[in-house]
Amino acid sequence: NVKIVISNKQKAKGLLIAKKMGIKHYFFDFTKSKKRGKIVLNILKENNIKLICLAGFMRLLPAYFIKLFSGKIINIHPSLLPKYKGLNVHQKVILNKEIYTGCTVHHVNKYLDSGKIIFQKKVRITKKDTALSIEKKVLETEHKVYPKAINKVLSSL
C-alpha cells in the first residue's frame, strides 16, 4: 500500500503514476536547500510511514535520517552487490566481461550500496549486449524483484 511518492526529479515516472492513482506525491529540489530533508522527514512522520523504498535515488541519506528509520529503508541497485557499487554499473560489467549481472535489494546504511542484502536476482549477459540493453534487462528484473523484497521486509517489521 503506497502512501506517498517523493522525488528529487520533477518528471520522475513514479510521480506521474502517483498522480494518476491519487497517491500523495511531492517533488523537492534538494540542491536548493538542505532543509528540505527535514520537510521530507516531517511528511514521513505525519503519514506514519513504516517502510521507505528508494528507487533511482542517487544520493546518500543523512546519518540522522538513517538512524530515525533504522532497518526501515531499502534500496534497489542494478548490480549483484557487493560488486559495482555506485554509478555506471552496466559499463563496468561490460568492461570486466561479466557473464552475469543483476539487481540487489538491500537495507540502507550510511555507506554507499553496502547495507545487508535482502534479495538478489541474476541476469545473463550475452556478447551482443550493450550497456543500454543490459540496463533494460536489469530494469525489467528490478520491477519483478522489488515487490517481493518489499513484502519480505514488511512481513518482518
Report the pLDDT value the prediction gives residue 148, as an integer from 0 to 100: 96
Report the pLDDT value the prediction gives residue 8, as an integer from 0 to 100: 85
Looking at the annotation, which residues are catalytic? 77
Report the pLDDT value the prediction gives residue 34, as an integer from 0 to 100: 65
pTM, two decimal places:
0.92
Buried b (16+ CB within 10 A) or exposed e, 88-122: ebbebbeeeebeebbbbbbbbbeeebebeebbbbe
Contact 99, 77 (CB under 8 A): no
Sorted by sequence, the CB contacts under 8 Å of residue 66 that are 6+ apart come out as 73, 108, 109, 110
Report the pLDDT value the prediction gives residue 33, as an integer from 0 to 100: 62
- Residue 101's H or E segment, with its range, is strand 100-107
- List the chain residues with pLDDT less than 70: 30-34
With cell 540502507, the residue in question is 108
The Cα–Cα gap between 41 and 43 comes to 5
Q: Tell which residue, 87, 106, 34, 86, has the closest CA to residue 64.
A: 34
Report the pLDDT value the prediction gives residue 144, as an integer from 0 to 100: 97
